[in-house]
Amino acid sequence: MKFGIVVFPGTWSETDTHHAVHGVLNQEAEYIWHGKDNIEQFDAIILPGGFSYGDFLRCGAIARFSPVIQAIRQFADRGGPVIGICNGFQILCESGLLPGVLMRNDHLEFRCIWTDLRVENSNTIFTSETIKGQTLHIPMSHGEGNYQADDITIQKLEDNDQIAFRYADSDGNVATEINPNGSINNIAGIINDKGNVMGMMPHPEKASEKLIGGDDGNLIFKSMIHNLVGRVT
């Protein structure tokens, strides 16, 4: 399987992402510069975290105009799997590939902490190696991860099981006081209505080895690999 890892000016988590899918999970991976408009050689696309274009205007607001975004849109329209992590999630929302918006954290602080995520839907290509209700220990690092959308959109996400993860405690309890950024309904990750595009604020690539604090993030990449090419041990 070949992952394409998109790099914009200001992206900073591409090497960690490459290590997770190639160094740890032994999959082929290649960087994609944002000016590229042909990504047909890849099986899955990852938009990693960082500060594309210095987060000027809004996070992801400039990156959405890069040539690669149109290629990603076409890739997703054909059913190709796309995951946006942190800034990648913001770019997907700005590009209209996912609904909603990521706003300033409600406490107006940049938070770099480990979080616990409760799996809300394990029946996706990104979560099939997890169990619904399972808690994943994955770090976050952002100042604008406060997911918001209008009431109709939120209700649709809830009704259609498009919420992938919620912020919770280590036992899987979801509560307002656990919410690290103010996201509505403790939402940490969502999928599109076709089920092939996911965005999440926490960083699974930074939870790829027990040596660095945990390897729960591998379950997300393993799910993608399993659904595309077969089970990975």
| Residue 12's CATH number | 3.40.50.880
Residue 195 has pLDDT above 50, yes or no: yes
Is 233 part of any domain? no
Average pLDDT over residues 149-157: 98
Give pTM, 2 decimals: 0.96
Is 179 part of any domain? yes
Residue 230 has pLDDT above 70, yes or no: no
Positions marked active-site: 86, 203, 205
Is 79 part of any domain? yes
Computed over every residue of the chain, the mean pLDDT equals: 95
Residue 72 has pLDDT above 90, yes or no: yes
Per the structure, the complete domain to which residue 109 belongs is given by 2-228
CA 70 to CA 85: how far, in whole Å?
A: 18
> What is the number of domains present in the chain?
1
